[in-house]
A and B are shown apart, each in its own frame.
Chain A
Amino acid sequence: MPSEALVLGFDTSAAHCAAALLLGDRVLAATSEDMGRGQAERLMPMLEEMLSGSGKNWSDLKAIGVGVGPGNFTGIRISVAAARGLALALNIPARGVDTFSASELGRTGTVLPTVPAPRGQLYLRPPGEAPTIAAADSVDSHGLPPVPPPAPAVLAENIARIAAAGGGTVPAAPVYVRPADASPSSTPPPTILADDP
C-alpha cells in the first residue's frame, strides 16, 4: 500500500496567517492567526512549528497547496512567493488554489462563491465564468446562494485538500481579478517641429 501523501496548505490572502497539514485525508494540524500586518515575518515560522509539532520535516512533503486569492495583493504574493521557493527547493509541486474553489469545497448544489473586496465590493465567480468584482448588492441578481470564505483554518485545510487531490494550478499564480492601479503618463509629449532652416 503506498504511503499517504503529506500535503501542506497555507493562505495569507486576507488579514490572517492560516495553515493546515494533511496526511492522506487526515488533518494532522490546522491553525490560523489573525493579523493585519506581519504575515511575511510570521508565515514561515508558523509553518515550521506546524511541521515539527506533527513530527514532520519539510522534506516529508509531497505537495504544497497555496491560496492564490483573490484578496489582499501583498498577502497573496507573500504566500505565492514562499510556495514557489519551497516548491523549487523541495522539487515538489506548489498548487495554486483560489479562494472560490476552496470555499465551494464540500458544498452541494450550485453556489456563488464570494470574497470581500475593497470599498464594499465583492469578488465573485459565477458558475462557469471568470472571476469578477462587483458591488455587494449585485449578488442577488445571480439567484444563487452566496458563499463567503470559510474561517481561515478551514480555508487552509480546503486548499490542502484540493492540492492533495491534484487540483489547483501549477505554477501557482496570484488571482488578482483587479488590474494594477496605474494610469498611463498624463504628460503629453511636446510636438516636434521640423528644424529651423
Chain B
Amino acid sequence: MDDALTILALESSCDDTAAAVVRGRPGAAQVLASVVQGQDDLHQAFGGVVPEIAARAHAERLDICVKQALTQANLTFSDIDAVAVTAGPGLIGGVLSGVMCAKGIAAGTGLPLVGVNHLAGHALTPRLTDGIGFPYLMLLVSGGHCQFLLVRGPEDFSRLGGTIDDAPGEAFDKTARLLGLPQPGGPSVQAEAENGDPTRFAFPRPLLDRPGCDLSFSGLKTALLRARDALIADKGGLTEQDRADLCASFQAAVVDVLAEKTRRALEVYLTDKPPEPVLAVAGGVAANTAIRASLETVSADVGARFIAPPLALCTDNAAMIAYTGLERFATGKTDDLTLAARPRWPLDTASPALVGGGKKGAKA
C-alpha cells in the first residue's frame, strides 16, 4: 500500500481528550491507536460538562494523549504524514487547546496541519469502520448534536433536519438529574427503563405532527418534570417503580420520535436512488439499545443496511478525526498555522439554518 497515509489526530471539543493514529486510504483505513481520556469524574458534581473545567483538563492532557497514541501505534513523528485536529464545532476552550497543541506539533515537526470538523468526523466514521461508499444517510445523535445528514462525499453534506432545541443526549442527562440517577444519563436512564412501564406516562412526541425531519426534545424534558412533580406532590417522593416508569416512558417517546423522523429522512435519501442504501448512526445516544433496535427496524423496512460503528468510535474519539483528516489530506487540503478554532461550524452551509441554531450554524 504505497499510497497509504498515516495521520495523527487530536480531539478536545467536549469532555474527552483524545489522540489517535489512522493509516490507509479513503474508504480503506485502519485505526493503529486510539486514546480517549474522559472527564466524567471532573464534571460529576456539576450535573453536566463545565466548559472551563473541561478546557483546563484538555490543555494539560492533550500532549500526553498524543504521546500515548504514538507509543501504542509504535510510531514516531517521522512516520506521520499529517497532523489533524478538531477545529470545531465545540466548547471553544477545549477546541482552542487542541488546535494550539496541534499547531505546536505541526510547527515542531514540519508536518502539514489539517483542521477537521468534529461533525464530519462522526459523519465519516462508517467509511472508516465499514468502508461504505457514498451516498449514505447519517443520523448523528449525541449529547450535543442531533441531525440527519445526507453524505454524498467527504466534504459534501446535506442536512435533512435536526433538533431545534436540545439534543437527545442532553435530554437523557437532564432526565437522570431530575430523577436522581447518575451521570451520564444515557446508560442510567436506559437501565431504569428496562424495569419500567413505557405506557404509564403519555409523554409528548414533539414535531411528529409536522412535516420534515426536524426534531425537538425540550418539551419532552418539561413533560417529564411535570409528571415527576405531580408524583412528588401526591406522595412526597418517587417510588423506584415510579422512577423506572418515568424512564421507560421518556425513552419510549425519544425512540418514537427518532424512528419516525428517521423513516422520513430515509424517504428523502432513497429518492437519490443509492445503489446500496445505508443508514448509519453515530454519537453516544446510538449506544442506547432501544433506539438502536428501532432504527434497525426502520431501515430494514425500506431495505437499507443499518450500520452502527462500535461504541468506542461512536462517541467522541480522535480516530474519526484522523480518518476525516486523511480524507481531506488525500485531496490535497491542508491548513496553515493561522487555523482558527470555531465554536460553531455547520457541515451544511447551503441548507437553511436550524431554528435556534443562530446565523452561524449548529452549536457545539
- Whether B238 pairs with A195 at a CB distance below 8 angstroms is no
Stretch at the interface among A77-85, A101-109, A110-118, A138-146: A77-85
Closest to A86 in B: B104
B333 at the interface (CB under 8 A from A): no
- Whether A190 pairs with B100 at a CB distance below 8 angstroms is no
A173 at the interface (CB under 8 A from B): yes
Closest to B45 in A: A184
- Whether A190 pairs with B108 at a CB distance below 8 angstroms is no
B206: chain A residues at CB < 8 Å are: none
Closest to B52 in A: A180
A90: chain B residues at CB < 8 Å are: 108
A44: chain B residues at CB < 8 Å are: 100, 103-104, 107, 337-338
Stretch at the interface among B157-165, B172-180, B253-261, B303-311: B172-180
- Whether A182 pairs with B104 at a CB distance below 8 angstroms is no
A89: chain B residues at CB < 8 Å are: 77, 104-109
**Bound CA span A82–B106, Å:** 10
Q: Please tell me the number of chain B residues within 8 Å of chain A, measured between CB atoms.
A: 54
Closest to A73 in B: B52
Tell me the minimal C-beta distance from A70 to chain B in angstroms.
13
B220 at the interface (CB under 8 A from A): no
B101: chain A residues at CB < 8 Å are: 81-82, 84-85
- Whether A73 pairs with B338 at a CB distance below 8 angstroms is no
B340 at the interface (CB under 8 A from A): yes
- Whether A195 pairs with B239 at a CB distance below 8 angstroms is yes
- The A interface is mostly helix, strand or loop, or mixed, namely helix
- Whether B63 pairs with A84 at a CB distance below 8 angstroms is yes
- Whether B56 pairs with A174 at a CB distance below 8 angstroms is yes
**Bound CA span A194–B240, Å:** 7
B47: chain A residues at CB < 8 Å are: 184-185, 187
A residues 139-197 in Cβ contact with B at 8 Å: 171, 173-174, 176, 180-185, 187, 189-196
- Whether A189 pairs with B179 at a CB distance below 8 angstroms is yes
- Whether A48 pairs with B55 at a CB distance below 8 angstroms is no
**Bound CA span A195–B45, Å:** 28
Closest to A42 in B: B338
**Bound CA span A187–B47, Å:** 9
A74 at the interface (CB under 8 A from B): yes
Checking B56, B63, B99 against A176 with a beta-carbon cut-off of 8 angstroms, the contacting residue is B56
B96 at the interface (CB under 8 A from A): yes
CB-CB under 8 A for A193 and B238, given A81-B100, A82-B100, A89-B108: yes
A196: chain B residues at CB < 8 Å are: 239, 241
- Whether A77 pairs with B96 at a CB distance below 8 angstroms is yes
- Whether B52 pairs with A77 at a CB distance below 8 angstroms is no
B211 at the interface (CB under 8 A from A): no
B106: chain A residues at CB < 8 Å are: 85, 89
- Whether B340 pairs with A40 at a CB distance below 8 angstroms is yes
B residues 26-59 in Cβ contact with A at 8 Å: 45-48, 50, 52-53, 55-56, 58-59
CB-CB under 8 A for A45 and B337, given A78-B96, A184-B47: yes
**Bound CA span A181–B101, Å:** 24
Tell me the minimal C-beta distance from B182 to chain A in angstroms.
10
Closest to A188 in B: B180
- Whether B53 pairs with A182 at a CB distance below 8 angstroms is yes
**Bound CA span A192–B178, Å:** 12
- Whether B237 pairs with A193 at a CB distance below 8 angstroms is yes
- Whether B237 pairs with A41 at a CB distance below 8 angstroms is no
Tell me the minimal C-beta distance from A132 to chain B in angstroms.
19
B66: chain A residues at CB < 8 Å are: 85, 88
B residues 184-239 in Cβ contact with A at 8 Å: 228, 232, 235-239
- Whether B100 pairs with A78 at a CB distance below 8 angstroms is yes
- Whether A88 pairs with B63 at a CB distance below 8 angstroms is yes
**Bound CA span A82–B100, Å:** 5
Closest to B178 in A: A187
- Whether B340 pairs with A73 at a CB distance below 8 angstroms is no
B341: chain A residues at CB < 8 Å are: 40
Tell me the minimal C-beta distance from A38 to chain B in angstroms.
9
**Bound CA span A191–B337, Å:** 54
B315 at the interface (CB under 8 A from A): no
- Whether A180 pairs with B56 at a CB distance below 8 angstroms is yes
A192: chain B residues at CB < 8 Å are: 180, 237-240, 243
Closest to B237 in A: A191
**Bound CA span A86–B337, Å:** 13
B67 at the interface (CB under 8 A from A): yes
A42: chain B residues at CB < 8 Å are: 338
Checking B46, B58, B102 against A182 with a beta-carbon cut-off of 8 angstroms, the contacting residue is B46
Closest to B183 in A: A185
Tell me the minimal C-beta distance from A178 to chain B in angstroms.
10
Residue of B67, B101, B338 with most partner-chain A CB within 10 A: B101
A-B contact pairs, 21 of them (CB 8 A): A42-B338, A44-B103, A44-B107, A45-B336, A58-B110, A77-B93, A77-B96, A82-B100, A84-B60, A85-B63, A86-B105, A87-B104, A88-B66, A88-B108, A89-B107, A180-B50, A184-B46, A191-B232, A195-B239, A195-B240, A196-B241
